[in-house]
Amino acid sequence: MFKNYLKIAWRNILKNKGYSIINIGGLAIGLACFLLIAIFISNELSYDNYHEKKDSVYRVIHHSNADSPDDAWVWGNAPVGPALKSDFPEIIEKAQFSGRSDILLEYNNRKFQEGDCFYADTSVFNVFSWPLINGDPKTALEAPYSIVLTETTAKKYFGNENPVGKTIEGIGGRAADGTYTVTGVMKDVPQNSHFSFDVLMSMSSFYQTRPEIFDSWGYVDFYTYVLVSNNFDQTAFESKIPDFLKKHIEPEVAEQYYYNFSLESMNKIYLYSKADRQPGETGSLSNIYIFAIIGLFILIIASINFMNLATARSMERAKEVGIRKVIGAERKGLIYQFLGESLILVLFASLLGLLLAFLGLPWLSSLTGKAFAMASFITAPILLLYFGTTLLTGFFAGSYPAFILSGFKPVRVLKGAFRTSAQGANLRKGLVILQFSISIALIASTVVVYYQLGFMLNKDMGFAKDQQLILDFNWDGEVLNNVEAIKGEFLALADVSSVSLSRTVPSSHFPAAGTDIETYEGNMENFSPYIYEVDNNFIQHYKIDVVAGRAFSPDFPTDSISSLIINEAAVKEFGYNDPNQIIGKKFQQWGREGSIVGVVKDFNYISLHSEVAPLTLRQVPYGRYLSLRISSNNYKDAITAIEKKWNVLAPHRPFIYSFLDEAFNKQYISDIRFRKLFTIFSCLAIFIACLGLFGLATYSAMLRTKEIGIRKVLGANVSTIVALLSKDFIKLVGIAILIAIPFSWYAMRQWLNEYAYKIDVEWWVFLLAGAIALSIAIATVGFHAFKSANNNPIKSLRTE
């Protein structure tokens, strides 16, 4: 019997090639999209799963605001790690990293500035599953000036040699200066890791340069992880934290500076952590939900197409059912036949979908910036989900013709008394409404996503970010010793109109500073605003507006020792309503005392995901970056001239530059990827919906062929017939628009809540989405209507 089912299914495919292509092709595309989205989501959910002890690893999260428990940092002090291991037997091991460092490394005249470098405890290889290819993991990071390289980094300097025992120079990185001995080579950190790096240096190397910070509970420069015992109870442990802090932090310090901490499981870091200062990228749980919904929508739309066309076409086989029943076929056998044929068609579609998904993997990798290997493509859970879904689709698609057609009375069918049932027609209409409701919601959502990201990329950030060339010299001592002369040399270039020195620039790393400010009542209160250390030209160079007081100026030599400038957010944080009220108030910050001389307008020095936070600016003679404002639009020549000058002024350092607007927009790289994926998958969903509408329109026009012929003979023109055939579908799309609007409005409002600065969801978005869907429907249905209306009526009426 199976052979018979297969033969009949194959004959039906060949007999109706157009419908078969639409049916199998549409479902295959839908299944391929579903599978690609499943692979993407599976990858997002796999972060840090490669660590053997992941269930027992926790990260210390630091809190510095008693009024805002959610105001948390991953980056914190050093002494908390050793104290935890010493005081709690359930803490088996602690592993600490310094903050990320950029270090210039040199070997045999090959120099590279490495951007992902950390100082680390020797215990990191016990806590994390980062296997060493060469070297002993127990001692690799034990001695001062030891260094472990990833496999890719090692090959860059040493080729295929074993570098263990060789030395490499660290240059110009302040604490990183020195000769390092390579003590290990480890495999590259997997891409599905919340923490990635290229170089690890022994923490004892860092201790050589700044031993005092390892005992300071107020100094922030470390990431702390702990390995706990199997019976660890996080709730019970955190109840002991208050007593632990009382033991280690002096009462007078605790009264002045609030500090607390909590633990965060490694299993929740990538998708659930809300703490600031992450050591690597984090994912978005809401985006995973969105993609899961899109994948489900695409599958639903593809399945609806398949079911609609299957049920519509099955009506043509009513006489076949009647004949089979007359010659003795049982209903059970007919049910098996129709279900079997449906499952065979779905099997063809699933195999084609697998091929399309396989071909689409490189495309998915390029869009997401993540490598998807075949291993992720053929995992058992994903394939089980895939084929389970296809079998369900096939069952539901074949269930209507199987159970309805098999129940027809053969006498009525063979007499020609059978007509398409109202029940079947209403089912198809309902499914068309559902799929176009989904499509319209996706169109509206795509428009909102597109404009939100455009708003973020084009919003006035409150400072001049265009035509800013940033030179990164990484605190190089020789450069700093001659920085004023270097600035003057650059200013002498025709393409450079302004130069500024600073420790940070917008979008790059910046610290926070414990700061005492004189309040309105005259008391000194402690805050922890962010800090920009800049030269006296920074505010003018970046065209930041001053709303009260003044900017730094060479006319005030004491600015470098006793002046502070803050932003409007800091004014509010310090309890003042008018920026002018805080001018002249006293401050104490990082060993400096003086008065506040100016207030700048809030500018978005971090991404628009967050509101502008309190910021202080103070003048210093050092920094890491030179900002050059380019006055020419000929960037190529300008960069060439600047590079030539740099090679003369600092021949010992590579010329490392970036444009500020490009670097700043890198903060939105995950948003850009999200927009691309969302838009492409939404367009594919709409395309699949149109395929189904195309097939149904063809079938509808075919059923009314004789009616169209009669109307033409009686004098109906083409436009009348087109309107007749199109109006039913247009009504369905109109209903879909009404259903989709509230759903998509609510969903996009929820999604936009993730952004501190966002667009309003305007009414025209839904009008546009509805107009696009309506235009697509009219074009799709109208094509067949026009074609049918232009057919010669003699052909359709010849048999009457």
Neighbouring residues of 228: CB distance < 8 A, sequence distance ≥ 6: 56, 57, 58, 90, 91, 92
CA distance 21 to 306: 11
Nearest by Cα to 548 from 576, 583, 516, 503 = 583
For residue 173, count other CB atoms closer than 10 A to its CB. Answer: 20
Which SS3 state, helix, strand or coil, does residue 363 take? helix
Q: What is the CA radius of gyration of the chain?
A: 34
| Contact indicator for 122, 183 with CB cutoff of 8 Å | no
| Contact indicator for 766, 744 with CB cutoff of 8 Å | yes
Backbone torsions φ then ψ of 274, nearest 5 degrees:
-110, 5
pLDDT at 420 over 60: no
Q: Which amino acid is at 626?
A: L
The gap from C-alpha 511 to its chain's centroid, in whole angstroms, comes to 25
Pair type for strands 546-549 and 592-600: antiparallel
Largest CA distance in the chain: 108
pLDDT of the residue at 187:
96
CA distance 438 to 460: 35
| pTM to 2 decimal places | 0.84
The β-bridge partners of 463 are none
CA distance 588 to 524: 9
CA distance 567 to 250: 32
SS (H, E, C) 766-777: HHHHHHHHHHHH
| Contact indicator for 495, 641 with CB cutoff of 8 Å | yes
- Where b means 16+ CB within 10 Å and e means fewer, 302-315 reads bbbbbbbbbbbbbb
Neighbouring residues of 202: CB distance < 8 A, sequence distance ≥ 6: 119, 120, 122, 141, 142, 143, 144, 145, 146, 147
CA distance 516 to 37: 51
Percent of the chain with pLDDT over 90: 43
- Render pLDDT for 454-479 as a digit per residue (tens, 0 to 9): 899 889 999 999 999 999 998 888 89
- Render pLDDT for 728-782 as a digit per residue (tens, 0 to 9): 778 888 898 899 989 889 989 888 988 889 999 888 888 888 888 888 777 777 7
CA distance 176 to 98: 12
- Render pLDDT for 479-517 as a digit per residue (tens, 0 to 9): 999 999 999 999 999 999 999 999 999 988 888 888 999
The β-bridge partners of 278 are none
Beta strands in 540-695 (DSSP E): 546-549, 563-567, 586-589, 592-600, 615-619, 625-630, 657-659
DSSP string, 518-535: E-TTS-EEEE--EEEEE-
pLDDT band at 125 (very low <50, low <70, confident <90, very high): very high
pLDDT at 357 over 60: yes
More confident residue, 44 or 690: 44
DSSP tag of 118: E
pLDDT at 668 over 70: yes
Alpha carbon distances (Å) from 34 to 286, 297, 685, 689, 793: 18, 9, 10, 15, 44
Neighbouring residues of 363: CB distance < 8 A, sequence distance ≥ 6: none
**What mean pLDDT, rounded, does the chain reach?**
86
| Contact indicator for 48, 190 with CB cutoff of 8 Å | no
Instruction: For tokens 């074993």, name the residue.
Output: 162
pLDDT band at 394 (very low <50, low <70, confident <90, very high): confident
pLDDT band at 393 (very low <50, low <70, confident <90, very high): confident
CA distance 789 to 167: 83
Backbone torsions φ then ψ of 147, nearest 5 degrees:
-145, 140
CA distance 264 to 519: 35
Nearest by Cα to 300 from 397, 381, 211, 379 = 397
Q: Which of 295-304, 475-484, 546-555 has the highest mean pLDDT?
A: 546-555
Alpha carbon distances (Å) from 208 to 78, 213, 371, 700, 793: 15, 11, 39, 82, 95
pLDDT of the residue at 381:
78
Neighbouring residues of 289: CB distance < 8 A, sequence distance ≥ 6: none
Nearest by Cα to 500 from 548, 531, 464 = 464
Backbone torsions φ then ψ of 689, nearest 5 degrees:
-60, -40
Cβ-in-10-Å burial (0-12, 13-18, 19+) of 78 comes to buried
Q: Which amino acid is at 654?
A: P
The gap from C-alpha 136 to its chain's centroid, in whole angstroms, comes to 37
